[in-house]
Amino acid sequence: MTSEEKAELIVQTADDRQARDMVLLDLSGLTVMTDYFFICSGNSTTHIRTIVDKITEAMKGAGMGGIRTEGYDAAQWVLMDYGDVVVHVMSPEQREYYQLEEFWSEAPHVPIEPMLPQPAATQA
């Protein structure tokens, strides 16, 4: 599975769980540690864990198990490391405080909308 395919599956899964303020940053030209950062917010610790659980389930289903996860118990900032894609699921307070998007402001934002399922057209 390519980095782009992983990122797309993560974006779609997080969107399916109503993740908020989703951002995908392309770090491939800025660091050797990863190709993408996916950052999103959850409304509560339960919501954050649900997003993380569903991403874990989807990635395992795609053969991408054995990741490292940090912060699951507190569920204020959960980091999921898939090597070439790193996921940050954060509470709005943690996200505002740490401002990862600002820290990585040189990273291009990857458009998320094309990765999301398009609503079916209704017929009149």
CATH number of the domain that 32 lies in?
Answer: 3.30.460.10
Local confidence band at 114 (pLDDT 50, 70, 90 cut-offs): confident
Q: Is residue 68 part of a domain?
A: yes
- The span from the CA of 124 to the CA of 71, in Å, is 48
Q: How many domains does the chain have?
A: 1
Report pTM: 0.90
List the single range of 21-35, 48-62, 87-101, 110-124 with lowest mean pLDDT. Answer: 110-124
Give me the mean pLDDT over the 61-84 stretch.
92
> Is residue 34 a part of any domain in this protein?
yes
Round to whole Å and give the CA distance between 4 and 46: 28
Radius of gyration, CA atoms only, the chain: 14
Determine, yes or no, domain membership for 120. Answer: no
Evaluate whether residue 116 is within a structural domain.
Answer: no
What Å distances lie between residue 35 and 23, 49, 80, CA to CA?
A: 14, 24, 14
Q: Is residue 122 part of a domain?
A: no
Percent of the chain, pLDDT > 90?
81
Predicted confidence band of residue 115 (pLDDT cuts 50, 70, 90):
confident
The range of the structural domain enclosing residue 88 comes to: 3-111
